[in-house]
Amino acid sequence: MAGDTRTRIAPSPTGDPHVGTAYVALFNFALARHAGGQFVLRIEDTDRVRSNPESERMILESLRWLGLQWDEGPDVGGEHGPYRQSERADIYRDHVEQLVSSGAAYPCFCTRQRLEELREEQRRQKLQLGYDGHCRSLAADEARQRRLAGEEHVIRLRMPGDGETVTNDLLRGEIRFANAQIDDQVLLKSDGLPTYHLANVVDDHLMEITHVIRAEEWISSLPKHVQLYHAFGWQLPVFCHLPLLRNADKSKISKRKNPVSINYYRRAGYLPEAMCNYLALMGWTMPDERDEFSREEFIEEFRLADVSLGGPVFDLDKLTWLNGRYIRQLEPEQLLERLREEAVSDANLLQVLPLVRERIDTLDALFDYGQFFFIGDLVYDDDARARLVAKGRTPAQTAKAFRLLVEEQLDPLLDWRASTIEDALRAFCERHEWTSKELFMPVRIAVTGRSATPPLFDTMAVVGREMCRRRLRCAIEVLRGMK
Partner RNA sequence: GACCCCAUCGUCUAGCCAGGUCUAGGACACCGGCCUUUCACGCCGGCAACACGGGUUCAAAUCCCGUUGGGGUCACCA
Question: Which residue number, 218 or 438, has a Cβ lying nearer to RNA?
Answer: 218
Check residue 152 for interaction with RNA (CB under 7 A). Answer: yes
CA separation for the pair 198, 92 (Å, rounded): 7
From the list 185-193, 409-417, 450-458, 472-480, the region that binds RNA by CB under 7 A is 185-193
CA separation for the pair 377, 468 (Å, rounded): 10
Per the CB < 8 A criterion, the answer to whether 442 and 412 are in contact is no
Which segments of 66-111 does DSSP mark as H helices, in order? 89-102
β-sheet bridge partners, residue 238: 211
Check residue 180 for interaction with RNA (CB under 7 A). Answer: no
**Collapsing DSSP states into helix, strand and coil, what is residue 18?**
strand
Crossing angle of helices 222-232/89-102, nearest 10°?
80
Binding RNA (rule: CB under 7 A), the pick from 1, 2, 125, 128 is: 128
Binding RNA (rule: CB under 7 A), the pick from 86, 91, 93, 110 is: 110
From the list 260-268, 309-317, 440-448, 461-469, the region that binds RNA by CB under 7 A is 309-317
**Footprint (CB under 7 A) of RNA, residues 210-269:** 216-221, 243-244, 246, 248-252
Residue type, 73: G
- Among residues 126, 224, 250, 255, the one annotated as catalytic is 255
**Footprint (CB under 7 A) of RNA, residues 348-377:** none
Q: How far is the CB of 330 from RNA (least distance, A)?
A: 12
Q: How far is the CB of 393 from RNA (least distance, A)?
A: 32
Buried b (16+ CB within 10 A) or exposed e, 370-398: bebbbebebebeeebbebbbbeebebebb
Q: Report the alpha-carbon angle 368-374-375, nearest 5.
A: 95
Check residue 331 for interaction with RNA (CB under 7 A). Answer: no
CA separation for the pair 239, 333 (Å, rounded): 44
Check residue 179 for interaction with RNA (CB under 7 A). Answer: no
Check residue 119 for interaction with RNA (CB under 7 A). Answer: yes
Check residue 413 for interaction with RNA (CB under 7 A). Answer: no
Question: Environment class of residue 263 by beta-carbon count within 10 Å: exposed (0-12), middle (13-18) or buried (19+)?
Answer: buried
Question: Which residue number, 123 or 437, has a Cβ lying nearer to RNA?
Answer: 123
What residues contact residue 343 under an 8 Å CB cut-off, 6+ apart?
267, 269, 374
435, containing H or E segment: none
Check residue 47 for interaction with RNA (CB under 7 A). Answer: yes
Question: Which residue number, 21 or 398, has a Cβ lying nearer to RNA?
Answer: 21
What residues contact residue 481 under an 8 Å CB cut-off, 6+ apart?
none
Count the neighbouring beta carbons within 10 Å of the beta carbon of residue 53: 11
Check residue 448 for interaction with RNA (CB under 7 A). Answer: no
Question: Which residue number, 286 or 344, has a Cβ lying nearer to RNA?
Answer: 286
Check residue 52 for interaction with RNA (CB under 7 A). Answer: no
x/- contact string, 261-300, with RNA (CB under 7 A)? --------------------xxxxx---x-x---------
Check residue 112 for interaction with RNA (CB under 7 A). Answer: yes
From the list 42-50, 69-77, 403-411, 437-445, the region that binds RNA by CB under 7 A is 42-50
To the nearest 10°, report the CA torsion of 194, 197, 198, 204.
120
Q: How far is the CB of 389 from RNA (least distance, A)?
A: 29
Per the CB < 8 A criterion, the answer to whether 99 and 187 are in contact is yes
Check residue 151 for interaction with RNA (CB under 7 A). Answer: no
The yes-or-no answer on residue 255 being catalytic is yes
Q: How far is the CB of 12 from RNA (least distance, A)?
A: 3
From the list 262-270, 295-303, 314-322, 402-410, the region that binds RNA by CB under 7 A is 314-322
Binding RNA (rule: CB under 7 A), the pick from 12, 55, 409, 448 is: 12
Kindly determine how many residues on this chain lie close enough to bind RNA according to the rule CB under 7 A. 71
Binding RNA (rule: CB under 7 A), the pick from 76, 121, 129, 359 is: 129
- Residue ranges with strand state E in 147-299: 154-157, 164-169, 173-178, 186-188, 211-215, 238-242
Check residue 393 for interaction with RNA (CB under 7 A). Answer: no
**DSSP for residue 217:** G
Check residue 186 for interaction with RNA (CB under 7 A). Answer: yes
Q: List the catalytic residues.
A: 255
